[in-house]
Amino acid sequence: MKTKITTILVVLFFLNKLHSQSQISFGSTAPAIDVSNSLSKQPLNLENKFIVLDFWNPECLSCLDDMPHLNELASKYKSNKNLIFLSVTYRKIDDLKNILKVIPFETNIIIDETAKSFKDFGRVLKGDYGASIDYETILIDNKGVIKWIGSLKNLDGQAIDNLLNNKSISAEKSSENSYTATDNTDTPDTNQFLGYINSKYEKVDYLFTLTGVQRAEKSVKKIIYRPDDGIYVSVNQNLKKHISNLTEVSELKIITPQSRLENFNIIYKNRLDKLNTTEELIKNDVKFNLLRTLNLKETLENKTAEVYVLSVADKNKLENAIDNGLPNKVNENKNYFFFNNSNTKYLAGKLSEKFNLIIEDESNLTTNFNFILNKNNIEETAKNLGAYGLQLKKQNKEIQFHVYK
């Protein structure tokens, strides 16, 4: 009998857990929202209020991409005291500091560390919070009834007007939010390419080939770098790009012959001395073979040019941005770059590539940091860097160019 009771209790527990994380629906009563832990200056009272409820987290890039749209709506209805905009996150305030330096919030930020609201509103799709989250926006009327559920980008003033006037709100059209990740994660064709190299050159310990781009390769631009295996492959790149990848020198500071503007492929393999082969040695060896094959020599020439200089302006601000252990990666969405665990040299290189400007890193910093930067124009980026204690200033100065001829 005791076993049966225990079984029933376990079943009831799981049923209750499933119910607590069930999906809400149009016309249903909204769960209570705990707003006690808010970043708002004034206490929030949700009683008899119309609510725009938005779920977000710092790692949700599409959420941040749509934040300017939500800010516009919040500003438009700011004078309406019966309407409250809530942005709920389960991250701690320390995790939000970098975000709030760069991205303004006109809404009331709610800290929901236990993710109770995420679960109560069915935003957790599987497992515990953090496993799979649905970042939809929800409209709730002044009687606590859910009137609309959809993506933030599809929320407009008409829907909010209808909410305030107790009119029906049409369902949104389906949409997809996405972001671009520019990390070194392997894709299926990367593994296929490596498999091709390993099978074709299985018995070869040392290899360097320089070939023209075939018709089938013209739609592909790829760099595969496996220092542990002694493999470096660069597909469909021009000479400047090849050299820049090997030296980490901006393409804008590399001068190559006009006769060498075509794209080509590099395949390199070195298994002669794996124990003593480092990343620097591999890249230097690839560069040596590249220049020798093309019969080119490198000289360094000083020239005056317009550059942007990256330097430290306020060390105290910079301390707040020190890396929190995330993997080395840069993501981007429509409006922002998200640098995780990146040094300033890498930062300067990426910004130089994005804006097609010469950016010199003179910060002398060796620590890795996390940055969130506006990528729409260099002026906004410089302003964001200022919030981290860095300065990006334009000036004319003599710099070193790498000339190949």
pLDDT score of 274:
64
Last residue within a domain, chosen from 278, 296, 314: 296
Asked whether residue 225 is domain-assigned, the answer is yes
For the chain, the domain total comes to 3
Q: What is the CATH number of the domain that holds 167?
A: 3.40.30.10
37 and 167 fall within a common domain: yes
Does residue 370 carry a pLDDT above 90? no
317 and 226 fall within a common domain: no
pLDDT score of 180:
32
Percent of the chain past pLDDT 90, that is, above it, reads 46
Asked whether residue 183 is domain-assigned, the answer is no
Q: What's the average model confidence in pLDDT over 160-189?
A: 59
Q: What's the average model confidence in pLDDT over 81-98?
A: 90
86 and 168 fall within a common domain: yes
The predicted-structure confidence for 214-243, as pLDDT tens digits, reads as follows 765 566 677 888 877 788 889 889 999 999
Asked whether residue 15 is domain-assigned, the answer is no
29 and 159 fall within a common domain: yes
Tokens of 285: 């060896």
- In order, the DSSP letters of 46-73 are -TT-EEEEEE--TT-HHHHHTHHHHHHH
CA-angle at 222, arms to 219 and 228, nearest 5°: 160
Q: Which of 3-7, 122-126, 145-149, 235-239 has the lowest mean pLDDT?
A: 3-7
Does residue 341 carry a pLDDT above 90? no
275 and 378 fall within a common domain: no
pLDDT score of 352:
93
Q: Which of 42-46, 183-187, 267-271 has the lowest mean pLDDT?
A: 183-187
Asked whether residue 192 is domain-assigned, the answer is yes
121 and 227 fall within a common domain: no
31 and 170 fall within a common domain: yes
Provide the β-strand partners of residue 390. 312
Asked whether residue 4 is domain-assigned, the answer is no
Does residue 178 carry a pLDDT above 60? no
pLDDT score of 301:
97
131 and 31 fall within a common domain: yes
31 and 155 fall within a common domain: yes
Q: What is each CA distance from 392 to 8, 53, 260, 380, in whole angstroms?
A: 65, 37, 33, 11
Domain that holds residue 309: 302-404
Helices (H) and strands (E) in the chain, counts: 12, 19
On whether the CB atoms of residues 104 and 71 are closer than 8 A, the answer is yes
Does residue 130 carry a pLDDT above 50? no
34 and 159 fall within a common domain: yes
Asked whether residue 1 is domain-assigned, the answer is no
The predicted-structure confidence for 2-36, as pLDDT tens digits, reads as follows 444 333 333 333 333 333 444 578 889 999 999 98
32 and 138 fall within a common domain: yes
Q: What's the average model confidence in pLDDT over 289-310?
A: 96
Q: Which of 97, 115, 142, 149 has its CA nearest to residue 37? A: 115
pLDDT score of 215:
62
The predicted-structure confidence for 52-75, as pLDDT tens digits, reads as follows 999 998 888 888 888 999 999 999
pLDDT score of 99:
86
Q: What's the average model confidence in pLDDT over 349-368?
A: 93
Does residue 197 carry a pLDDT above 60? yes
Q: What's the average model confidence in pLDDT over 79-86?
A: 96
Q: What is the DSSP letter of 123?
A: -
269 and 400 fall within a common domain: no
Burial of 403 (0-12, 13-18, 19+ CB in 10 A): middle
Last residue within a domain, chosen from 253, 272, 296: 296
Q: Which of 175-179, 253-257, 387-391 has the lowest mean pLDDT?
A: 175-179
On whether the CB atoms of residues 253 and 397 are closer than 8 A, the answer is no
Asked whether residue 8 is domain-assigned, the answer is no
Read off the pLDDT band of 194 (50, 70, 90): low
Average pLDDT over the chain, rounded to an integer: 82
Asked whether residue 9 is domain-assigned, the answer is no
Last residue within a domain, chosen from 233, 265, 296: 296
Read off the pLDDT band of 184 (50, 70, 90): very low
